């Protein structure tokens, strides 16, 4: 009897010990949970999310919502073992190694700043993609956004240089500039025509070989865009590039007399470039849950991210539509708005 009692006491003590350890033991993981769903056609914190000045704009019923992921944990916030295990058992959450979001060689401040820059860039490229789809003209150029130390372009190109031609071929944006540079063997020269301080200069840079075996010259190229009217997008402190597609659709809706949704609510996620190509993102399952909680009928997802939707807990009534480029999303919205061709929408 005494031995049995001691066994129970020891077991209880161990259980309490494990419970205390679970509460206080820090583990290097993050928990990803469904975040906000913001209708880009509406307001956020008292401000219209997409504001347009200098051109006639419209307000319509319906929703084109961006969706987010909320992360718990990280270098500045303790993640305890119990919370991580609980999230691992949840169908709507994901547990990730801390370094996925917070690489050990970068500070939290650097990561936050990068997320802000990505958001700003996604808003600008979304506007460009939307205007391309609406056939509204604007000015664009490829610009040197940075020069890497120790690379061939150091001392030859400068931040702010506008790249107008490569090997005699006109380039209009970042994508064309990158394509032209990569259309050669590593080691081959790259002849660039650049505009610097209002002067045109010819620069020849010998390409090097990247770790992937591609030709590079060691510059970060961006898009220098000038638009005929002002579009201001306000989403508070949300960062990252994954709302690009939905920003582009929201801008198009606000510039279109008839609107795009027909009163339906659509959510989605995917990056976008100037040409309208939609790129993959992470956290799709959590974003689908956010969309479903908002009452979205359809969820637009980048084709590259389709595999993330297969095991999602957010099945219910929401329908997933695969998007490769902005035109696909516009076509899908036309089907949703008119109620025709719904069975032919591209699925994951």
Average pLDDT for 56-70: 96
The CA distance from 213 to 185, in Å, is 9
What pLDDT shows up at residue 239? 93
The HSE-up count of residue 100 (CA atoms within 13 Å, CB side) is: 15
What pLDDT shows up at residue 16? 39
- Among 84-88, 311-315, 330-334, name the one with the lowest average pLDDT: 311-315
Bridge partners of 80, per DSSP, are 26
What pLDDT shows up at residue 1? 46
- Among 7-16, 43-52, 71-80, 337-346, name the one with the lowest average pLDDT: 7-16
Q: Please, are residues 68 and 36 in contact by the beta-carbon 8 Å criterion? A: yes
Average pLDDT for 332-344: 95
pLDDT band at 110 (very low <50, low <70, confident <90, very high): confident
What pLDDT shows up at residue 123? 96
Whole-model pTM over 0.85: no
What pLDDT shows up at residue 54? 96
Domain boundaries, the chain: 32-135+228-340, 139-226
Fold (CATH) for 32-135+228-340: Ribosomal Protein S5; domain 2 (3.30.230)
Domains 32-135+228-340 and 139-226 share a fold: no
Q: Please, are residues 164 and 135 in contact by the beta-carbon 8 Å criterion? A: no
CATH class of 139-226: mainly beta
Residue 314 predicted with pLDDT over 70: no
The CA distance from 158 to 340, in Å, is 52
82: three-class secondary structure by DSSP? helix
**How far is residue 118 from each of residues 15, 123, 238, 271, measured CA to CA in Å?**
46, 9, 10, 10
What pLDDT shows up at residue 313? 43
What pLDDT shows up at residue 104? 84
DSSP states of 169-225 = EE--SHHHHHHHHHSS-TT-EEEEEEEETTEEEEEEEE-EE-TTS-EE-SEEEEEEE
If you ran DSSP here, which 8-state letter would residue 137 be given? -
What pLDDT shows up at residue 315? 52
């Amino acid at each position: 009897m005494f031995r049995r009692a001691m066994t129970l006491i020891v077991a209880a003590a161990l259980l309490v010990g494990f419970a205390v350890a679970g509460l206080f033991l820090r583990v290097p993981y993050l928990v990803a949970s469904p975040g906000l769903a913001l209708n880009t056609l509406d307001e956020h914190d008292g401000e219209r999310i997409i504001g347009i000045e200098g051109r006639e704009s419209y307000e319509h019923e319906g929703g084109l919502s961006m969706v987010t992921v909320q992360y718990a944990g990280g270098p500045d916030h303790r993640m305890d073992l119990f919370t991580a295990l609980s999230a691992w058992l949840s169908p709507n959450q994901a547990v990730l190694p801390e370094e996925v979001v917070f690489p050990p060689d970068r500070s939290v401040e650097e990561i936050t700043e990068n997320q802000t820059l990505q958001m700003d860039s996604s808003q600008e490229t979304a506007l460009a993609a939307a205007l391309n789809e609406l056939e509204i003209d604007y000015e664009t150029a490829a610009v040197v956004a940075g020069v890497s130390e120790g690379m061939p372009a150091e001392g030859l190109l400068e931040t702010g240089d506008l790249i107008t031609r490569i090997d005699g071929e006109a380039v209009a944006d970042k994508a064309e500039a990158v394509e032209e540079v990569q259309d050669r063997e590593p080691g081959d020269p790259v002849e660039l025509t650049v505009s610097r301080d209002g002067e045109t200069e010819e620069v020849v840079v010998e390409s090097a070989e990247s770790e992937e075996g591609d030709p590079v010259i060691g510059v970060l190229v961006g898009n220098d865009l000038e638009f005929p009217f002002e579009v201001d997008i306000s989403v508070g402190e949300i960062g990252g590039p994954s709302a690009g597609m939905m920003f582009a659709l929201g801008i198009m809706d606000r510039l279109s007399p008839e609107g795009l949704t027909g009163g339906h609510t659509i959510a989605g996620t995917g990056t976008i470039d100037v040409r309208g190509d939609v790129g993959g993102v992470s956290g799709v399952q959590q974003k689908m849950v956010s969309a479903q909680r908002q009452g979205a009928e359809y969820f637009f997802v980048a084709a590259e991210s389709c595999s993330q939707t297969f095991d999602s807990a957010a099945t219910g009534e929401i329908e997933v539509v695969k998007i490769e480029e902005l035109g696909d999303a516009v076509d899908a919205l036309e089907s949703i708005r008119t109620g025709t061709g719904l069975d032919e929408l591209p699925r994951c």
